[in-house]
Structure 1
């Protein structure tokens, strides 16, 4: 197996921007990954970062087929993008979020019922749909435990 040190010795050190083919492959992979799960303006902001990682992986040989045509779970995608998304938008009552906090049996889609901001910071009260009704589910949720959804 080739190591990073060997790659540096084998390849010239001239940098090149992503080729048209690499961009096309990256765009296709990105659209399949998100599958409409993020708002258009978020996707536009995240796409260049995704392209950078994708192209770097391809160029250094770390993208061999492991599970071809097997999509990643939306929850995994949301959790991976959460730190970036967190800084892109404020969350308001009525917004749908993906909850991934410490109350694991309540992980999944929730709606923000109330936003509380005080000296401790901003916390969110969430509700989930049960039997056709929105019912309170978890309180005092920190921002890092939720990801905005469409």
Structure 2
């Protein structure tokens, strides 16, 4: 009966993440995003990792603290397709667009990382359909808005190979398709 509380008297208690939890979560995130055959290389950019790391650490600590990380799947790694799908979902929610542009109006949004696009720019011999593999934002002191340039690539086997770089937004038509696994 000592643990029974009146609703008005309930207090929220808790503790911040420990260094050990942060370290374990960081190790797990790096393991999940490691490129097969090269554990020091990641399948996603550092920017993406830094974006998801706080949420991953939070989820990790919550799972450990609630006991939801039982032995049922101990030693069984998460498959690459599930990890890729999680990053694609984050991308599908347009997190990259919101961060890069500082706006949330879909009609003004350009393509996202790992989205399929049609290139129709000045390099006519390179016209075709590609994946956006990088978005670069450059400061514009006049408008105070970033100027975005896109790097495009194509899949050759399981490798994304750069084809066209430094592409302007007007040279692209986004396609509603995202890369979910390499």
What TM-score, normalized by structure 2, do the two folds share?
0.47
Instruction: Give the direction of change, closer, same or farther, for the CA distance of 1:49–1:63 in structure 2 (3 Å limit).
Output: same
* Aligned 1:1-150 pairs, distance under 5 A: 13-35=12-34, 36-85=42-91, 86-88=94-96, 91=111, 97=114, 114-115=118-119, 125-126=129-130, 128-129=155-156, 141-142=175-176, 145-147=177-179
Report the secondary structure of 1:66's partner residue: helix
The Cα shift of 1:129 comes to: 3.5
Q: Contact 2:33–2:43 at 8 Å: present in 1 too?
A: yes
Number of the residue aligned with 2:39? none
**More relative contact order in 1 or in 2 (CA 8 Å, sep 6+)?**
1
Structure showing greater Rg = 2
Instruction: Give the direction of change, closer, same or farther, for the CA distance of 1:38–1:129 in structure 2 (3 Å limit).
Output: closer
Aligned-residue RMSD, C-alpha: 3.6
What TM-score, normalized by structure 1, do the two folds share?
0.55
The Cα shift of 1:79 comes to: 0.7
**Structure 1: which 5+ runs fail to align?**
1-7, 100-111, 117-123, 135-139
Number of the residue aligned with 2:144? none
Q: Contact 1:38–1:149 at 8 Å: present in 2 too?
A: no
**Structure 2: which 5+ runs fail to align?**
5-10, 35-41, 98-109, 121-127, 131-153, 162-173
Instruction: Give the direction of change, closer, same or farther, for the CA distance of 1:91–1:148 in structure 2 (3 Å limit).
Output: farther
Instruction: Give the direction of change, closer, same or farther, for the CA distance of 1:32–1:47 in structure 2 (3 Å limit).
Output: same
